[in-house]
Structures are given as C-alpha cells and as structure tokens.
Amino acid sequence: MTTILICDDDRDITAALAVYLKAEGYAVRTASNGREAVETVRTTPVQLVLMDIMMPVMDGVTAMAQIRETSNVPVILLTAKGEDSNKILGLNVGADDYITKPFNPVEVVARVRSQLRRYLQLGADTRAARLAIGSITLDDRRKEVRRDGELIGLTPTEYEILKLLMARCGEVIAPREIYRQVWHAEPYGAEATVAVHIRHLREKLELNPAEPRYLKVVWAQGYKFEECERDAMT
C-alpha cells in the first residue's frame, strides 16, 4: 500500500488530511515537526510527504533540505497565504509542489495523485525510452539522467520537466503549458513555480548555469531545450 507522511504541528489539519487520504486508499503516517519527518523518511518506506513550512523544533524548509540529502521522495509543501518567500525557498531546496491553506480536499487528492503517478512510474510514455542530446542522456525506463555519463540526482518533478523539454527539443514551451503537462492541474502561479524548477535544473545540469548550454529562456514566451541533434531509442 502507498504510504503518505503528513507533517504538521496543527493536529486538526493532520487529522483532516489523514481522513481525505485514507478515504482514497492510502496508508498514512504523521509527524508534528520537521525533525520527526526527516527521521520517518530515513527509517520508514514512504512514497510521498505532505509538510507544513512553519513548525517548531525544525521547520519544513530545513527538513526538506535534509530529506533531499538521502531521498527523492515527492514532497508537497503546505503553505499559508502570504508565505511566498518561504514557498519559493522550499521549491529551491527540492519541494515538488505546494498547496495553500485553507486547502480544498479535492485539490489535495489531485496533487497527491499527480506526484505519485510520476514517482511510482505509472503511465510512463515508453515510445522514446531514451533521449540523448549533447552530453545529456535521459533513460525513461530507469528514470535516470546523466551528464557525460555521470548520474544526476533529480526530483520527480524536475525529471518530468526535463523529459518534456527534451522530447520537444527546440520548441518554446510556455510556463502554463509546462505546469499543465507536469502537474496535471490548472496553472495558478505557474510562472514562479516553473521558474524555480528550471533554475534548479540548470544548477544540476549546466556546467555554467549563468550561461546555459541547454536550458534556455525565451523572454516573455517560455523555455526550450536548445541543442537539438539527438538520438531517440526505444
């Protein structure tokens, strides 16, 4: 059974989320602060984390950074209105998505399903199982990305964004379309969210992120993967 970790110091929120997710057939574990969440991820099989940002003992952003040292499990941040700076910081250190409180149960379930679909590799498009563009290779069967043969650690969301851009190499894709394709949701706040993930991808893939060879921005239009001589093999 798929297990989801809910981390929030507000017991009412934790209880409500647990009810929604258990009704969808998920197993649920809970934590009341970031330290407990980090320990749970390290010691227990967990397929997704829902985590508040503002918590005692250890905040969600710090916990996120520690989780990313050992795990690429999808993490959805729970944020309050007006916490934009914390939200962007969380995305920068590896969060895959965020939900703003007060949340809609239908939205929570939809975002959880979207992240799990990618993480558990369901519904993968195997028509182009391997893409090689320049020094970047994406193996969709293994869910691996390499640069010059060296394995690059990506979060599930970063992986899906990269796969989309590589599969449509040379095509400018608007942030709102990237958001729809990757998050499978309406693109509210898409520009800022996608921009954070693109920047994170550049930092991991580009030798010089300030002068990217592959991940290019087209002002006021979107993003594209620039170098287009490639091999695609099934």
Is residue 124, in this structure, part of any structural domain at all? no
Q: If 0-12 CB within 10 Å is exposed, 13-18 middle and 19+ buried, where does residue 81 land?
A: exposed
Task: Supply the CATH number for residue 106's domain.
Answer: 3.40.50.2300
Whether 199 maps to a domain, the answer reads yes
The verdict on 198 and 160 lying in the same domain is: yes
Burial of 194 (0-12, 13-18, 19+ CB in 10 A): buried
pLDDT along the chain (234 residues), means of 10: 92 94 94 96 89 93 87 87 72 85 89 84 48 88 89 93 89 90 81 93 94 91 76 46
Structure tokens at 161: 């964004």
For the chain, the domain total comes to 2
Q: What is the pLDDT, as a whole number, of residue 81?
A: 63
Q: Which residues contact 37 (CB under 8 A, 6 or more apart)?
A: 5, 7, 31, 49, 51, 60, 63, 67
Do 113 and 189 reside in the same domain of the chain?
no
Q: Is residue 174 part of a domain?
A: yes
Q: Which domain holds residue 188?
A: 130-233
How far apart are the C-alpha atoms of 18 and 42, rounded to whole Å? 21
Same domain as 134, residue 104: no
The whole-number pLDDT of residue 121 equals 57
What CATH number does the domain containing 211 carry? 1.10.10.10
